[in-house]
Amino acid sequence: MELKISLLLAIIAIIMPTLQGQVKIASAPQDQANTAPPLQGQAMAMPPPREVSDELEWWKLQHKKAYESSVSVVHPEPEEEVSNFNQDVHLALDGSNSTRRGLGKKYKGECQAQNPIDKCWRCRANWAKERKKLAKCVRGFGRNTTGGLAGDFYVVTDPSDNDLVNPVPGTLRFGVLQPRPLWITFAHDMNIKLKGELLVTSDKTIDGRGATVHIANGSGISIQFAHNIIIHNIRIHDIVPASGGMIKDTWDHVGLRGADDGDGISIFTSHNIWIDHLSMWNCKDGLIDAVSASTAITVSNCHFTRHNDVMLFGASDKDPRDEIMQATIAFNHFGKGLIQRMPRCRFGFFHVVNNDYTHWEMYAIGGTSHPTIISQGNRFIAPPDPKAKQITNRNNVVGEDWRSWTWRSEDDLMLNGAYFIESGAPLKKKPSSKYLIKAKPGSYVRRLTRFAGFLRCTEGKKC
C-alpha cells in the first residue's frame, strides 16, 4: 500500500505505450463523453485514450484535488465529535432493559436495536420503502456521509463482472461508475466475483438489505479519490490480489491499474466513508485499509473473523498527510480467528468505542507515528496465551518517544488478564465544547454489538 501513487505513475509511464497498441478502446464523441448516460439498457461509450504525459498529469491532478477535498472536511476539534457520539449512545440506551447477547446463539425474538445507528432505522417494518432513511443514521467522524441519498435507485440484476473496460448495464460495476448520486440495491441473492478492483465513485450507497450478497473469491472494493460513500449489509470475504491492467475507474476515464493487494475494502485519499453491518473474513491483505490522507470515516456494526491484518489506518510512517485522518470504530465485533490490527493506526485521531473484542492472537490495537487513540467502553477478552494479554502494541518506537502519544482507555472492560498501556495526557475539554460526555462502559458492549455483521432483512418485516 505504501507509495502506491508513485508506483502507479511509474508503471503507467513504462507500460502505457505498449498497452495503447494492444487494448482497443472505442472513442466517444466529445459531447457524449460529457453527457450523463442512462442507467439501464445502454453500454458505456469509451473516451479516447490519453497520451502518456497527459495520463500522468491526470493522475497527479486527481490526487491533488482529492487531498484538498479531504483537508476541507477535517473536524477542527475531534474531541467534540467524541462527546457527540457518546451522547447519542446514552440517548439510545435510555430506558433500555433488553437481555444481552448470547454468543453463538441465533436471535429469533422481536427486533431490538440497542445502539444509536441501528435504533435510527432497523426496527421499522417499512424499511424497504424508506431505504434512504439509513443515510440519516451515521454517527462519528463519518457523520456527514449521505451516499446516494440525492440520487435515483439502481438495481443490480446481473452478478457478472466480465468486462472491466466496458461494464454491462445491470452489473454492480456499471452502477458504481455512474457520474451521479445513486442508491444501489440488489434484485436477488448473488455471489459477485470481481475480475478486478471495483472502483466506487463519489455519492454512492451500496445497500445489500433484502438480499444475501457476497463479494468473494476475486478482487475487492477500492475507493480512490472519492467521497460520500456508504457500504451497507453485504459479505466480503476470500478476496485475492488481481494482476491489474486497464480498468474503467470513472465514467470518462480508463486507466492502467497495478496489481492490487487483496484488501476487502481499500480507501485511498477519500473522505466521508461509512462502512456498516458488513461481515468480513479471510482476505489476502487487510479487511479494511484507509491510507493517504483519507478521513471522516465511520466503521460500525461489522463482524470480523478469520483474518490476520484486520484494519490499517495509514500505510507509511513517511506520509504525514495522514495527520488529518479521523475515524470512528464503533459497535463492531472482533471475533474468532483474528490476529492483529483492530485497528493499527498512524498519525491521525481514532475513536475506538463500544466494540467487543472476543479474540486476538497478538494484540488488538496498535500504531506508530504518534496517533491519538481514544479507547472508550470496549470489552477486551484476552486470549489464553500469557504473552498476548496486552491490548496495545506500539511499533517502531524510538526510546521513550511513545510516552507522549495520546493513547487513553476510559471505562473499558478488561477480562482474562487483558491490560491497556496508556500514554500521553488525558482528553481535555476544548474551549468550544460545552461538555465532554463519557462513553457507556464496557459492560454494555454485548447489547450494543448484539447484531453486528450482516443482517437478514425481509421486505415488510422489521430487520
Rounded to whole angstroms, the Cα distance separating 137 from 117 reads 5
Rounded to whole angstroms, the Cα distance separating 341 from 329 reads 12
DSSP sequence for 237-274? E-------EEEEEETTEEEEE------SEEEES-EEEE
Q: In what order do the strands lie in the sheet with 279-281?
A: 190-192, 213-216, 235-237, 279-281, 303-305, 333-334, 356-357, 379-381, 413-415
User: Smallest Cα–Cα separation from 188: which of 156, 214, 218?
Assistant: 156
The maximal CA–CA distance of the chain, rounded, in angstroms, is: 67
238: left (phi over 0), alpha (psi -120 to 50) or beta: left
Which grid cell sits at 363? 494484540
User: Smallest Cα–Cα separation from 269: which of 73, 13, 52, 50?
Assistant: 73
Rounded to whole angstroms, the Cα distance separating 136 from 121 reads 9
C-beta of residue 366 within 8 angstroms of C-beta of residue 430: no
The C-alpha cell 435510527 sits at 120
Detail the DSSP E strand segments found in 245-397.
245-250, 253-257, 265-268, 271-276, 279-281, 288-291, 295-300, 303-305, 307-309, 311-313, 326-330, 333-334, 338-340, 344-346, 349-353, 356-357, 365-368, 372-376, 379-381, 392-394
DSSP sequence for 43-109? PPPPPPPPPHHHHHHHHHHHHHHHHHHHHHT--S-HHHHHHHHHHHHHHHHTT--PPPP-TT----S
Rounded to whole angstroms, the Cα distance separating 304 from 328 reads 16
Active site residue 394: no
C-beta of residue 198 within 8 angstroms of C-beta of residue 223: no
* Annotated active-site residue in 101, 131, 341, 446: 341
The C-alpha cell 511499533 sits at 395
Q: What angle do CA 151, 156, 159 make, to 5 degrees?
A: 150
C-beta of residue 400 within 8 angstroms of C-beta of residue 377: no
Kind of pairing, strands 204-207 and 182-186?
Answer: parallel
Which grid cell sits at 316? 507509511
Active site residues: 341
